[in-house]
Amino acid sequence: MNTSINILLLLLQLFRYFPVFSQGQRSDESLVLSSINDTVSTEDEMGGIRILERPKSRGMFRRRRRSAGSRNSVRLWKMPIHFRFDGGHKLEQKQVIRRALEHWMDNTCVRFKEISSAEFYDDHHMLFTSQSQGCFSYTGMVKAIPQRVNLDDECLKIFGKSVHEIGHVLGLWHEQQRLDRDDSVEIVEENIRKFRHQFRKHWKVPEGIPYELGSIMHYSAKDGSVNGELTLRAKDPLYQGNMGQRTGLSFADALYVNTVYCKDVCTGRLERQCANGGYRDPKYCTRCRCPDGFSGDFCQDVAVGGCGAIYDVTVDRNVTIQSPGYDDRKPYNHLTTCTWWFKSAIGYRLQFRFVDEFGIYCFEQSCYHWVEVRFRKNPAIEGPRFCCDSRPDVLLTSENQQMLVLFRSNWDATVSDGGQRGDLRGFRAVVTAVPDVVKNDDLKH
């Protein structure tokens, strides 16, 4: 008798994985796309919003439904968030997904716990599936048990696609849907197909979280294009290459999740205030979490890495920097991190320009490796990123007496096809001190 009951319970659990559609309803799997970059909207009885993302190499489409109430009213998960696999992924693909979950745990206070595929678990959890129809997930926790997150073979070729979909599960919308986007990005309506709602702004984020074109939740510049032209144009042309990266979380991505999930984790006050745009780390309440380029318990130090440096730049001294291996004409290595910090005397500013040959890996014009130049007054604010094969014709002047330059090849470009390698030639740049009268009005784009 007990054996029969256990078998019945197991069958009931299995049936939950397969939605039942009455006559006249169409399952998601039955949808037929009329062309690449199509968008199909269907009614969904799961109580949430589903976002389906096609890998860029095969086009892109999205599917979603508005749940009752405001789109901002996503349901947050309780910790830890349980997950399991449906059995369709290979071992190495499971490891990619596990690394993506670990990436979120390394940068936020959220926690994930794996449960066995054979284990009976009748509470909210994620089920990773691998049907050959792209990457998709729901936004926030929904009524469905289990909550499906689909990552097919193409999705798993790029690590950040898994990170992106898990971001939706945690409650993040696409960055360009933020209500405050208009200062940063322009929507090119004439180049978008009928699914204009994909670019409609509706997401209100907590105060203090900066809009980042380099967010892992941001579309690339041509996503959803009907004619191969831009659908998203950065208000500052220097930032055009920042959009669409799928290499890892941006500082603001993690800040959002830490704000909505972890705001009450730490009590009391820090020993000292966080410097350089850092904030109290909900994982380690006695220290700060720092923007890329800074380190130390309170973000007071520059994280120069193995090939960076700190320079005091004087009028009679130009400083030349370059990627590792540049003089030997060797390609730079994947997973390289270099940070340079420049300071000038009072009455002077700093100017940055690229010289000689240039080649930094990019993927469909989005920077997956980059040289980032932070020349604004606040060095924690995202700076323009430069990549691909052509040497950028820019002359950047700092807004005060400091400048931060970051070289990042944090993503292993050998795991993907379709990228523009640029031979990984690297870069060389010159930084000079100039009188304070020079303005950024003289920028070349």
**3-state SS string for 128-178:** EECCCCCEEEECCECCCCCEEEEECCCHHHCHHHHHHHHHHHHCCCCHHHE
Quickly count: other Cβ atoms within 10 Å of residue 228's Cβ: 8
**CA angle (159, 162, 168) in 5-degree steps:** 145
DSSP string, 295-343: ESTTS-EE--BTT-EEEEE-TT--EEEE-TTTTTTPPPPTT-EEEEEEE
Whether the CB-CB separation of 305 and 338 falls below 8 Å is answered with: yes
Token match 């940055």: residue?
352
Structure tokens at 151: 């990552």
Annotated active-site residue in 165, 175, 212, 382:
165
**CA angle (387, 228, 412) in 5-degree steps:** 35
Whether the CB-CB separation of 131 and 148 falls below 8 Å is answered with: no
345/19 Cα distance (integer angstroms): 67
130/407 Cα distance (integer angstroms): 35
Structure tokens at 126: 């994620």
165 is known as an active-site residue:
yes
Token match 């009951």: residue?
5
Q: Which letter does DSSP use for residue 349 in this model?
A: E
Give yes or no for a cis peptide into 324 (omega within 30° of 0).
no
SS3 98: helix
CA nearest 37: which of 20, 60, 70, 19? 60
430/388 Cα distance (integer angstroms): 19
- Catalytic residue list: 165
